[in-house]
Amino acid sequence: MPLCRLLESQGATTLRLPAVEIRAVGNRRETAAQLGALDDFDVIIFTSTNAVRFGASLLDQKRDLTLAAIGAATARALNLAGYRVAVQPQETFDSESLLLHPKLEHPAGRRILIIKGVGGRPFLEQELARRGAQVVTADVYQRVPAAPSPAVLAAVLESFTLGAVQVITATSLEIASNLLDIAGSALRREFERVHWLVPGDRIARGVRELGLPAPLVQAESAEDHDLVAALVRWRSSVSGA
């Protein structure tokens, strides 16, 4: 996991506890047939690295399409797949910032394809449609709650009780919710004691609405470098460095 490797490069020790599993959905040929000619879309938006992982094949090696990516990691994934990204957020890495781009700020009359996961945040699709765009979506993957074994959860609880964990990362509300759901009462108490690293105001508000009273470390975005930077700043503040 890139975030874990980046944290470890900064001297941290990481404990991996997957909260979601990513699975492909749909049939590529059927999805491609339903979408029709991709050249008919003015912009094709990829919402995440998983959207690239499971949906880049829909591009069928066409290099002259206008592609958009919500975050830097998603743009890098498209670049690694051999595609150039023309539309990216200029400020924060989220849908709100992406919508400020000139190609999406006034999209009335344009056809826009969003390649995404099942049940993702609907704001981008809804806002583009409200602005007059003709929006088509393609769900190429789904996120399902992970189901760690009792032995895995017992080992995680032991790490907490030994004081080996000081921070939990939750880069989405779904991850936060799933972590709280899989925790028994003892692990839940440990979850509420340590800090949670979250990206942005929206996720911070969301975890509070989930009933989590734990102290928060807030990053500027869900990009790995912003998460690590926030954690480094927090660590420096508590250590007095």
Q: How does pLDDT run across 118-136, given as a tens digit for each residue? A: 987 889 999 999 999 999 9
Q: What is the extent of the structural domain holding 171?
A: 2-19+146-239
Residue-wise pLDDT for 2-57, tens only, equals 888 988 898 889 999 989 999 999 898 999 999 999 999 999 999 999 999 999 99
Let me know whether 106 and 220 are in one domain. Answer: no
Helix (H, G, I), strand (E, B) or coil at 216: strand
- Domain count within the chain: 2
Let me know whether 51 and 82 are in one domain. Answer: yes
Nearest to 24 by CA among 140, 174, 145: 140
**Contact call for residues 144 and 119 (beta carbons, < 8 A):** no
Let me know whether 51 and 138 are in one domain. Answer: yes
Q: Please give the mean pLDDT across all residues of the chain.
A: 91
CATH label of the domain that carries residue 172: 3.40.50.10090
Where a domain ends, among 99, 118, 144? 144
Cα gap 120→81, rounded to integer Å: 23
Let me know whether 150 and 134 are in one domain. Answer: no
